[in-house]
Amino acid sequence: MANRFTRKLGLGKKILLAAAAVVTVAAPIVIGLMNPPQSRAQAQTASTQVTFEVASVKPAAPQPAGYGTLMRVDGGPGTSDPGQLRWTNVTLSFVLKNAYGRKDYEVVAPKWLDSERYDIVAKVPQGTTKKGPMPMLQNLLVERFQLATHHEQKELPVFALVVSKNGPKMRESASDPGGSHASRSSHASPSSQFPPDGFPKLPAGMTEGCAVWGTAEGSLRMTYKGQTTADLVENLLNFVPRPVVDATGLKAEYDFTLEFTPESMRRAGALDPPAVDAPDAHNGVTVFEAVEGQLGLRLEPSKAPVDLLVVDKVNRTPAEN
C-alpha cells in the first residue's frame, strides 16, 4: 500500500516534513514534498525590527527510553494555528537551516548543533506571511544564542542537471491538455510497484504542485504538475550525496512523474551515477537512472562555487526568556 504527502506547504508544514526525515521510527514512508526554494535575499535578510512578539527557548527534556528521537513542529502561518509556533525537541542545526533556508551542505557549524535539543514556543505577529517567521527565527538565534555568522564561497563537488542528448521527455504544462503526448515517465513501468497510470493524483482543485508516494518496499513515485526543473532540483537534493545545480536552461513548467528507489533503501554501495545500461533489477531503479530514462535529463558530476553560511559563534545555553 502506498502513502502520501502533498504540497503546497506553508513554513510550518515544510519544517514538519523536514522533521519527519530525522524521526527514528519503524515506518516505511518518510518523504513528502516541499515548496520551491526561496531566493537568498528572502532567506537570509534579517531585520532587527522583525521579531516574535514573545518567545520561550528552553533545553528539551530527555527523551523517554525506547522511543527514538522524537521531534515535533506545529503552528505558524499557513497552519490552523498561525499565531503560534510550537517546536519540540528540535536541534539548533534544524532551527538554523530553516531560519536561513539552507541545506546541510551549505552550513559549516560545530557538531554539537546536531545533538543538543531545544523547545521553542513563539507568538507570531498577526498578519505575518508564510515566509515571515524566517527573519524572526534568525533574530531569535542572535538574541538567545548570540549567533554570529559569515559567508564564504567554496568550490564543491556537485551534480549538474543537464538535458540528455535526445532531449527532455517531460510534457509542458500548457501544451496538450488531453495528454496524448505525455512522456513515458507518466506511465508506470511493467516492474512498477505502483498502481496503473493516473495514481497518485494531486488533490482536487490543486492545479500545480507535487505528490510523493512511497511503498513499503522503498520505491518512491513523485508526480509533478506545473513544476520547473528548479523545483525538481530542490527535491533531488534529498536523494543524492552532492549539491545539485540546474544547468538545463529549461524555463517552462512541466507535468511529469519520477519513480525510483532511494539509495538509503538499496544495498550499500557507491553513490556515483551507475551505468544506465546496467540497472540493478533487484533494488529498483536509482535516482540517476530514473532522471535520465524517465525525464530525458542527466545528473553529471561537476564542480561549482557554493555560498556557505559559516557559524563563527553560538552559545550552547540560550539566554533567559
pLDDT at res. 207? 56
Confidence of residue 115 (pLDDT cuts 50, 70, 90): very high
- pLDDT per residue as tens digits for the range 139-181: 999 999 999 999 999 999 999 999 999 999 999 987 544 443 3
Q: What is the mean pLDDT of residues 187-201?
A: 47
- Is residue 69 predicted with pLDDT exceeding 60? yes
Among 61-65, 190-194, 300-304, the minimum mean pLDDT is found in 190-194
The answer to whether the beta carbons of residues 90 and 118 sit under 8 Å apart is: yes
- Among candidate residues 148, 174, 194, the one where a domain is terminated: 148
Whether 139 and 166 share a structural domain: no
The answer to whether the beta carbons of residues 18 and 32 sit under 8 Å apart is: no
The verdict on residue 286 lying in a domain is yes
The verdict on residue 320 lying in a domain is no
* Total domain count, the chain: 2
The boundaries of the domain holding residue 22 are 3-148
The verdict on residue 313 lying in a domain is no
- Among candidate residues 97, 120, 148, the one where a domain is terminated: 148
pLDDT at res. 178? 43
Nearest to 2 by CA among 216, 276, 232: 216
Whether 10 and 121 share a structural domain: yes
The verdict on residue 312 lying in a domain is no
HSE-up of residue 92 (Cα within 13 Å, Cβ side): 25
- Is residue 14 predicted with pLDDT exceeding 80? no
Average pLDDT over the chain, rounded to whole? 75
Q: 64 or 127: which carries more pLDDT confidence? A: 127
Whether 29 and 98 share a structural domain: yes
The verdict on residue 25 lying in a domain is yes
pLDDT at res. 23? 30
